[in-house]
Structure 1
């Protein structure tokens, strides 16, 4: 079961990263080039997956708290950027800085060590443009989705950069697609 969850999480990370890079590349180039680059990325991802050491963590019910922390980071960042009209990069920086101090004030347990990353992932969700996120309901849905993706990807690419942003991107894109095409 753990191996299946790990493989599913790897597939999610791969699809999200491919979609993100594909959107960037597709904007400037043609379809065969995009497909070729995505194939290369896929091969490199599989090679990296086989070469890196895998960390096995159990998915605990306490991990569900991480969804709440992702949501809190998202809402706070969205409030700072759209409600108080701060620059979104500054908003993320402030939220991330505040989140980094959480383990100092909480107990030394596994959950409190994961809180800053969850809040920071949420901060990336909160950077969503108000043109896409038409309010706090969208941000909460996207943050919840990103939180679930973050929990599922707990064992994937542990310690490698880009996972928090990828999970935030995935949450925002999935919710935007669902709201645009399925609930309209």
Structure 2
């Protein structure tokens, strides 16, 4: 098995696990309601079946350009600043950063590089939406942006046409960073 196919398969399993963990967290919060429990079990099964059997992955695996994913930390910091320092709230902050990012391709309409930036900017804006209880400061945002950038870099041709890819990647980056912070604080 070549490296591209291994990377592709690992990433599909990784994102599927992140989605199931997210659904299980919702399940845990609402464990008292039988209807919610049944819905979460059905959703977990559907996520796994769709990921494994759906036509959502290209056969060839390509990588996102490194200069594209570098915009993730910039957008995350901008969104975090608007959210926590200017007190605009997470939705307005992320929407503002994402909306501004959507105009970047208009600077040079024929630039392939500029056409790719809005997705990375939106992905970073989702990181900046994190609560102060989760994201303790700018170092947390930069670390989460780093992990999210790696995930976006690896997932260029995966989950094509599936809504929520950027938010899922941002969630995974924040979750990985939270887990690392938890481990560090447990041993310090």
- The residue aligned with 2:57 is 54
Match of residue 163, structure 1, among 162, 165, 170: 165
- Could you tell me which of 32, 41, 44 is aligned with 1:41? 44
1:44 to partner: Cα distance: 4.6
Shift of 1:39: 7.8
Q: Secondary structure at the match of 1:23?
A: helix
Q: Contact 1:69–1:118 at 8 Å: present in 2 too?
A: yes
User: For 2:90 and 2:56, how far apart are their aligned partners in 1?
Assistant: 35
In the TM superposition, structure 1's runs of 4+ consecutive aligned residues that sit over 6 Å from their partners are 33-36
1:13 counterpart residue number: 15
Partner of 2:135: 133
SS at structure 1 position matched to 2:179 = helix
Query: What is the root-mean-square deviation in Å for CA atoms of aligned residues?
Result: 2.5
- Cα shift at 1:160: 1.0
Q: How many residues align?
A: 181
Contact 1:67/1:143 (CA < 8 Å) preserved in 2?
no
List runs of 5+ in structure 2 lacking aligned partners: none
Q: Return closer, same or farther for 1:100/1:179 CA change in 2, 3 Å cut-off.
A: same
Q: What's 1:97 paired with?
A: 99
Distance 1:162 1:53, change over 3 A: closer
Task: Kindly indicate whether the alpha-carbon contact (under 8 Å) linking 1:14 and 1:42 is maintained by their aligned counterparts in 2.
Answer: no
1:48-74, CA deviations, whole angstroms, 9 ceiling, x for partnerless residues? 5433153234226xx222331111110
Q: Are residues 182 and 36 of structure 1, via their aligned partners in 2, closer, same or farther at CA, if it must alter by over 3 Å?
A: farther
SS in 2 for 1:159: coil
Equivalent residue for 2:179?
177
Q: Residue 148 of structure 2 aligns to a residue in which SS?
A: helix
CA distance in 2: counterparts of 1:159 and 1:182, whole angstroms: 37
TM-score (norm 2): 0.85
Unaligned runs of 5+ in 1: none
Deviates more, 1:152-161 or 1:135-144: 152-161
Secondary structure, aligned partner of 1:54: coil
